[in-house]
Structure 1
Amino acid sequence: MHLAVIRRAVSSISIMRSLRYSSKLVLKTTPVQKSFLMQRRNLHPVVMGCYTNDSKITRNISLPKLFAKQIQVREYASKVVKVPSLAESITEGNLLRWNKKVGDFVQQDEEVATIETDKVDAPVNSPYSGTIVELYAKEDDLLVIDQDLFKIELSESPAEGAEPETKRGETEKEKSEERKEEPKKEELKEPKEPKEPKQEPKKDSHPPKPDSTATSLYGDRTREERHIKMNRMRLRIAERLKESQNTAASLTTFNEIDMSNIIDLRNTYKDSIMQKHGIKLGFMSAFVRASVFALQEIPVVNASIEGPDGGDTIVYRDYVDMSVAVATPKGLVTPVVRNAHLLSFIEIEKEIAELGKKARDGKITIEDMAGGTFTISNGGVYGSLYGTPIINMPQSAILGMHVTKERPVAVNGKVEIRPMMYVALTYDHRLIDGREAVTFLKTIKEQIEDPRRLLLSI
């Protein structure tokens, strides 16, 4: 039997906020008991079923000792949620949008806000279930780690009497439809007097002059300018590209690849791979595998210069974490295929497909882009024929793929039409010599032109 419910103001047991009658009190108690419940004499302070002499509690609530065991304690604590740590290198961001508003009930781990950072749009999830009672920031505000973000009143379910938003919306919609379906009352129509026939104006013998303000044949010709502030990701991309240009001694070497054999291999097995694994076989997995082999043959391309004042230490790695450039509406991101040297063609294709989808859907995380020892950028998907990619610092090199075009080439003394692709390797000349860069790109060319090498690792 519940005689009353204690509302607690905070999560600790130090202060009680108020006491209200239980909803079952009318059915379970007599008028005498109800009267005695709220009297000030013969009272004893109670906390969570225990007696206490805490003066703070005594000043706020006292309960009859007789009914102490019949009191139910509920927690109505409120918590202030702070801006979480988004990543090791990120200390601030802008509030992109609120996904919830004051009064909304949220479940634990439900997304409440989205913070725009230098790299990704990071979701902020509620660590508790409860009702949002206060928001401490507005959209576009600059936020720092551990700053107060919103306040939530803890509860496991929406407050009593609160109607779910979707249900309330459906009810209002149904009512409006019912109103539309109600037959309209026929209005009494008064007889109208017949109008006199209008006299037509006399026609002008001169045709009207064309309006000088009429729209041009090609539409409105305007010369407007729009000034839009760069988002944090675009600003960070600009900073990193300039940093790469100012730090690395960038140099680019080129080669061309006959894609005939890899295209034949793809056409032979793409249907069976789609049927068995549910993925579309592209060329990226082949270039990743070829790059992994070349990086293992020439490990300096997989190394990087690190340390203070531009770096004084070369870091060599016996693993390959392959960064794959993906274009998004907000800018270019480079999610990482971890341990690419241990993955098969199919596993690489799956990883790239999943990371690409997350990036385009705006669900890529900072962890997905952390690290990376070498980058591949495929401008060919947009029709790029030739280009020089920029090094993704602190890496030392980047491979640029381009569109495959049929061109006349010399094959065994004859001119044949072959599908050809230009490839480019931009490298940091501080660390990588020209001989190593050219050999690296030539190794990739050999692997792609003869896919059997990819299987035999030769």
Structure 2
Amino acid sequence: MFSKRVAAFARSGRAFPLNSAGALSVARGWQMATAQACRAQFHTTHLLRAETVKVPDMAESITEGTLKTWTKKVGDTVEADEEVATIETDKIDVSVNAPMAGKIVEVLASEEDTVSVGQDLFRIEPGEFASESKPEESKPAQEEPSTPTPEKPAEKPAEKPAETAPPAPSKPDAKKETLKPVPPKEPKASEAPKLRVPGSREETRVKMSRMRLRISERLKESQNTAAFLTTFNEVDMSALIDMRKRYKDSILKEHDVKLGFMSAFARASCLALKEIPAANASIEGDEVVYRDYVDLSVAVATPKGLVTPVVRNAESMSFIEFEKELSNLGKKARDGKLTLEDMAGGSFTISNGGVFGSLYGTPIINMPQAAVLGMHSVKDKPVVVDGQIVIRPIMVIALTYDHRLLDGREGVTFLVRVKEYIEDPRKMLLTA
């Protein structure tokens, strides 16, 4: 109350009646008013208004990851749910999004740091800042042409560098320069190739990604656990190629999906799995788990490594339905948008090395599954048909299976059934 009276007198310009006690009261009043103003200013600082965002829950089995990239930096404004950072785990990449619109005021971890679920990651000041900053950034563009640059050389003719350094009066230009984090990253990717010269014996050490580490662990675990055995067979692809040529254009036009070989092999595998259920089973402790459904894992190569998204209930899908689902999963894999739900489970795997030109190969079982089917490239070969040597498109297929669950008879029978269905696709329509 007293501070308000002091302020009123100060605005009026009248002399304030002072005595020794009054002077002391005035001094105390100004002291109180100043303290209140400081407290009000302190309570509106960024540090008090900002909210801390923590590393989100990623999955039940994932407790930590590597902070790969900051897509936003301190001072950047973000919209609600906009991506701020990416965390790489041993299975998927997790996007950390802004919980609200605002401005990033502090980052609490650096790229390549290991971060745990619940750890403080960054601080954000809530509010809408985009509309406030845009008019300020647009002003210098209008003011620059009208700045009286000729006057400066007249006043200071000896200081020629001042002519080439107009950013001093236009501070927003400096802000624009600081808002360009992307260009410095581009040379890093091109530095290594430039340094390589003929005869160079330099070595480069690159830390393995979490996904690559996890892949190596699982593959070695598979080799150490399962009793591997691989059987091969040759498939005449003439009938399937003819069917694909006949219907691919109409299917693309009507269903907006490309008809490939994978849907036929998936259907043939599902029918063969009904006859050989052990190939669709898994070992859990001292028990064997048999399934009356087929969750088909399809190996997809991505820049970060091999992933195996799962097509659920593939046994109930038609060719077109399977191709649509596979197309969606493949796009998500290439874009790094696969979730743990997309890859969890799986009872049988198909791997198509033929798209890269592979002729033969022994695929590794995706544990705890019992078998994996390997497809390879199609090559014209001379074969004997009805006593005549003819040229036919041939694909070598391989089945690697766990000998603990499948005997040789079952493994070979499974691959023969797949061969029969592919060489005469009409049989798949006659089998329930």
Q: TM-score range by the shorter chain?
A: 0.7 to 0.9
1:79 matched to 2:57: no
Unaligned 5+ residue runs, structure 2? Answer: 1-10, 13-28, 30-38, 41-47, 154-196
Following TM superposition, by how much is the alpha carbon of 1:128 offset from its aligned partner in structure 2, in angstroms?
A: 2.4
1:435 matched to 2:406: no
Q: 1:272 to 1:232 in 2, by over 3 A?
A: same
The CA distance in 1 between the partners of 2:222 and 2:403, in whole Å, is: 13
Unaligned 5+ residue runs, structure 1? Answer: 1-30, 33-40, 42-59, 62-75, 186-218
Q: 1:160 to 1:268 in 2, by over 3 A?
A: closer
Following TM superposition, by how much is the alpha carbon of 1:172 offset from its aligned partner in structure 2, in angstroms?
A: 6.7
The CA distance in 1 between the partners of 2:144 and 2:377, in whole Å, is: 56
Which of 125, 128, 133 is the aligned partner of 1:162? 133
Aligned residue in 2 for 1:347: 321
Aligned residue in 1 for 2:178: none
- Tell me the SS of whatever aligns to 1:96: strand
Aligned residue in 1 for 2:202: 224
Following TM superposition, by how much is the alpha carbon of 1:81 offset from its aligned partner in structure 2, in angstroms?
A: 1.5
Aligned residue in 1 for 2:266: 288
Q: 1:302 to 1:174 in 2, by over 3 A?
A: farther
The CA distance in 2 between the partners of 1:248 and 1:142, in whole Å, is: 33
Aligned residue in 2 for 1:420: 394
Amino acid at match of 2:63: T
Aligned residue in 2 for 1:132: 104
Following TM superposition, by how much is the alpha carbon of 1:161 offset from its aligned partner in structure 2, in angstroms?
A: 3.5
Which of 253, 257, 270 is the aligned partner of 2:248? 270
Amino acid at match of 2:129: P
Which of 353, 372, 387 is the aligned partner of 1:398? 372
Following TM superposition, by how much is the alpha carbon of 1:153 offset from its aligned partner in structure 2, in angstroms?
A: 2.3
Following TM superposition, by how much is the alpha carbon of 1:77 offset from its aligned partner in structure 2, in angstroms?
A: 5.0
Q: 1:127 to 1:247 in 2, by over 3 A?
A: same
Q: 1:176 to 1:333 in 2, by over 3 A?
A: farther
1:109 matched to 2:81: yes
The one-character-per-residue Cα deviations of 1:373-406 (angstroms, maximum 9, x if unpaired) are 1110000001100010000111111000000111
1:330 matched to 2:307: no
Aligned residue in 1 for 2:362: 388
Following TM superposition, by how much is the alpha carbon of 1:427 offset from its aligned partner in structure 2, in angstroms?
A: 0.7
The CA distance in 2 between the partners of 1:87 and 1:144, in whole Å, is: 12
The CA distance in 2 between the partners of 1:312 and 1:296, in whole Å, is: 23
1:320 matched to 2:289: no
The CA distance in 1 between the partners of 2:293 and 2:119, in whole Å, is: 38
The one-character-per-residue Cα deviations of 1:196-252 (angstroms, maximum 9, x if unpaired) are xxxxxxxxxxxxxxxxxxxxxxx7422221111111111111111100000111111
- Tell me the SS of whatever aligns to 1:319: coil
The CA distance in 2 between the partners of 1:154 and 1:289, in whole Å, is: 53
Q: 1:172 to 1:231 in 2, by over 3 A?
A: farther
Amino acid at match of 1:249: A
The one-character-per-residue Cα deviations of 1:277-333 (angstroms, maximum 9, x if unpaired) are 111111001001111111122111111012xxxx22211111111111011111111
Aligned residue in 2 for 1:91: 63
Amino acid at match of 1:406: D
The one-character-per-residue Cα deviations of 1:332-351 (angstroms, maximum 9, x if unpaired) are 11111111112111111111
Following TM superposition, by how much is the alpha carbon of 1:173 offset from its aligned partner in structure 2, in angstroms?
A: 7.5
Amino acid at match of 1:383: G
Aligned residue in 2 for 1:20: none
Following TM superposition, by how much is the alpha carbon of 1:159 offset from its aligned partner in structure 2, in angstroms?
A: 7.3
The CA distance in 2 between the partners of 1:289 and 1:244, in whole Å, is: 26
The CA distance in 1 between the partners of 2:276 and 2:213, in whole Å, is: 34
The CA distance in 1 between the partners of 2:308 and 2:146, in whole Å, is: 53
Amino acid at match of 1:429: H
TM-score where L is the length of structure 2: 0.74
Aligned residue in 2 for 1:358: 332
Q: Percent identity?
A: 64
Amino acid at match of 2:71: N
Amino acid at match of 1:113: A
Q: 1:130 to 1:260 in 2, by over 3 A?
A: same
- Tell me the SS of whatever aligns to 1:163: helix
